[in-house]
Amino acid sequence: MKYILDNVATPWLSSYGEVAPHLDYSEKSMAACVLETAKNDPDFPALSFMGRKIPYKELAVHINEVARAFYALGVRKGQRVMVCLPNVPQAVYCLYGLNRIGAIASMVHPLSAVGELAFYLDEASCDVAVTLDQFYAKFLDVKARRPIKKLIVTRVSGELPFPLNLGQKLMTERKFPKINTSDNVILWDEFLKGGSSLTEGYIDNDKDYREEAVVLFSGGTTGVTKGIMLSDLNFNALAQQTAEMSHEEVRHCKMLAAMPVFHGFGLGVCIHTVLFAGGTAILVPRFNVKSYANLIKKNRPNFIAGVPTLFEAITRNKYLDGADLSCLRGVFSGGDSLTIELKKKFDKFLADHNASIRVREGYGTTECVTACCLTPYNKEKEGSIGIPYPDTYFKICKVGTREVVPYGEEGEICLTGPSMMLGYINHEEENASTMQKHADGHVWLHTGDLGVMDEEGFVYFRQRIKRMIITSGYNVYPSQIENILEGHPAVQRSCVIGVPDPYKMQKVKAFVVLTDGYENTPETIESIMDHCRRHVAKYAMPYEIEVRESLPTTLVGKVAYTKLQ
């Protein structure tokens, strides 16, 4: 299937030497694409999990086994099932197993609070859920608030090789509450046995690749958490576009999948793109810097992807001292703004460790799975998030309108392409405001982000429209002030917010984490302030700089500026 839009400019411009290709997108389901890879390359490792290699032929067996089990449980086409798991193999089996029978995986963070889990169940109308044994007690509290017809409980030890499985049982799993199985609580092995007698009739051979396949949760353009409906086409298009943009051989690559499976970046890029293309996804169930560094040294991945806080953490520790990173063919940053200073710092880190590549910053929204814009392999511009993916089209519109602004002028980032969502679940008013038909006849996603596009088609992200600070009638963009703050040697990380003020409406306040070796003294603060005075307009100057040991982050590692507010 070709995705070519009439009356819309080509997504890449040829002024720096290349024109975007139009890709031919798969019309198969996500599961069918991965199973086709398994048929063509059965013995190559699809997953790597804590030392265990799972070849594609074994992955195919697990996908069909789980598909049969869900079907035997009564799950049918179009039904949503909550998958509340970290990056463990069972999460992958459930994703594709549900897809195989035409059902929908609603991916949820397992560290969510009880009230949040109940909300996610209601929002996606889920009556069946899958989780780990360590979250079983929390789900008992969820069930007290909101009935769950079937709760499937699995264990990490079931996917570990000997003797790691024994160690997991003795050292970790024995500490968790005993699971009381009943009609509505089923252990994983019993769940699988339930479908063992099925041989046919469970596969959805009529699945339309444009129908809902996955639900991911995000704040959307209003900040209110919503379920985002995404199709097989959305994920398959993302996989093909990402492989094209990587400008590297993705087949038989190794991707360190540390980004969580419930997040578009983790699920779409680190898992589905890799499995679609025939590579190996190295599953990282829980991130800490030391184990992450050890995985890099041991597995020598070709690709790593993460949010800026991950790259910052790598540069701040000694665990990769002396490591040879010449294995890397791509390092991708997304999910949050990568400051100019952090990019410089991490590019130097890569060069110092024998890597021949530089970090490539991208941009995306969960409303188009994840990435839809990426710095090209052969050209970068300071502060730019790159150029749109193939067959993905960007325009910058005057805020609150569909009117395109000239190159270089700031406005709302709007986009359209084959990875654009089907819509939000039960939020028709926001669907109408977010997905708007323009004069060219095409539906465009209004992202709620401020940005600029230059004449070469490079896009520059400013920030969320709602995060903009208005002080004394002037617009102040926190991300720009953060870039300046982090240009001072004493500042490791920063976050800028607006504080209510009766005279100015808002005042600018900065929070900083100091670089090792610097102390929180009046002299240090004054030095940072003096640096700001030289680079920041008077109206945008922070009235206060507060030093913190760390900055709060969201569950996926973004700086949680709302908590500071």
Q: Which CATH class is domain 30-36+48-207?
A: alpha beta
pLDDT of residue 557: 67
How do 254-257 and 280-283 pair as beta strands?
Answer: parallel
Helix crossing, 89-100 with 56-73: angle to 10°? 60
Structure tokens at 388: 């749109």
As to burial, measured by CB atoms within 10 angstroms (0-12 exposed, 13-18 middle, 19+ buried), residue 290 is exposed
Residue 15 has pLDDT above 50, yes or no: no
- Give residue-wise pLDDT tens across range 432-464: 999 999 999 999 999 999 999 999 999 999 877
Q: Is 73 helix (H, G, I), strand (E, B) or coil?
A: helix
Could you tell me which residues are beta bridge partners of residue 131?
84, 153
pLDDT of residue 473: 64
Q: What does pTM read for this prediction?
A: 0.85
Average pLDDT for 200-224: 84
Q: In the chain, where are the structural domains located? A: 30-36+48-207, 218-463, 473-564
Q: Assign a CATH topology to domain 218-463.
A: Rossmann fold (3.40.50)
Looking at residue 24, the DSSP 8-state letter turns out to be: B
Name the percent of the chain in helix, strand, coil, to the closest 5: 35, 25, 40
Do 473-564 and 218-463 have the same topology in CATH? no
Structure tokens at 160: 């570990």
Share of the chain above pLDDT 90, in %: 68
pLDDT of residue 16: 45
CATH number of 473-564: 3.30.300.30
Average pLDDT for 224-243: 94
pLDDT of residue 14: 39
- Give residue-wise pLDDT tens across range 158-194: 999 888 888 888 888 888 888 988 879 999 999 999 9
Residue 28 has pLDDT above 70, yes or no: yes
